Amino acid sequence: MASLFSETLLPTTTELPEGYSVRPLQRTDYQKGFLDVLRVLTKVGDISEEAWLERYDWMAKRNEEYFIICIVNGEGTIVGVGSLVIERKFLRNLGAVGHIEDITVQSSEQGKKLGLRIIQTLDHIAQQVGCYKCILDCSEKNQPFYEKCGYKLAGVQMVYHI
Ligand code: ACO
């Protein structure tokens, strides 16, 4: 099964409900509810499978940069997702920063610590690939969740809408 990145970057164990597992995004995940989970977070649009595969292949060619994980339930349906994008820098001795993006858990599956496990898994991958920190933007509503995941408030989010 084609995976976006190597499973060896995942933690050796992840505490999840019985039958659930965490894995890298796979090329067949269009059929497994990936976009439905993203729709819990925001507008996704009407994306064809062909367009989805084109974007997947673009990311797979950059698989030292794009790390998308899925939590899958016992039936093989995707119930939680999260992304880590690696930014490589000149400063801090050619350091790297992990950007945590698009964390979302299917509404019926929230409150089972899946969000926490997604963040812990992405933080682990970031450490494995040499990041010195991870950062993210979120709404005030989600601030307590990220604090439970060990994140601290730092700075102000700015946006320029194009
Ligand atoms: N306010 C206060 N505490 C919270 C909240 C909240 N909004 N959400 C979770 N928590 C707490 C839980 O109670 C739990 O605390 P505990 O350890 O004391 O029991 C802890 O945080 C871990 O919660 P999980 O069960 O892991 O959270 P869940 O699996 O429900 O996922 C998430 C949280 C991802 C925010 C989920 O509610 C969701 O998908 N929301 C809709 C999409 C969204 O807003 N995503 C975040 C976008 S920001 C970004 O992507 C960078």
How many whole angstroms from 151 Cα to the centroid of ligand 1? Answer: 13
Q: By C-alpha distance, which of 43, 110, 108, 32 is closest to 68?
A: 32
Please compute the mean of the pLDDT values over residues 149-160 and round it to a whole number: 95
Nearest CA to ligand 1 atom 35: 142
User: How many residues in the chain?
Assistant: 162
Per residue in 5-20, pLDDT (tens digit) is: 999 999 999 899 999 9
| Residue 119 alpha carbon, nearest atom of ligand 1 | 26
Widest Cα–Cα separation across the chain: 45
Proportion of the chain above pLDDT 90, given as a percent: 97
Nearest CA to ligand 1 atom 4: 145
- Pocket, ligand 1, Cβ cutoff 6 A: 40-41, 100-105, 110-116, 136, 138, 141-142, 144-145, 148
Domains, in order of start, for the chain: 7-149 (3.40.630.30)
Per residue in 46-78, pLDDT (tens digit) is: 999 999 999 999 999 998 999 999 999 999 999
Task: Tell whether ipTM is more than 0.90.
Answer: yes
Beta carbons of 84 and 134 less than 8 angstroms apart = yes
How many whole angstroms from 1 Cα to the centroid of ligand 1? Answer: 30
Which residue, chain included where needed, has tokens 């349906």?
Answer: 77
* DSSP H helices in the chain: 34-41, 49-60, 91-94, 114-128, 143-148
How far apart CA 88 and CA 94 sit, in angstroms, is 7
Q: What integer pLDDT is reported at residue 24 of this predicted model?
A: 98
Name the amino acid, one letter, at 153.
Answer: L
Instruction: Please give the angle made by the CA atoms of 10, 71 and 106, to the nearest 5 degrees.
Output: 150
Please state the pTM of the whole predicted model.
Answer: 0.97
The pair of structure tokens assigned to 104 is 């979302």
Please compute the mean of the pLDDT values over residues 126-140 and round it to a whole number: 97
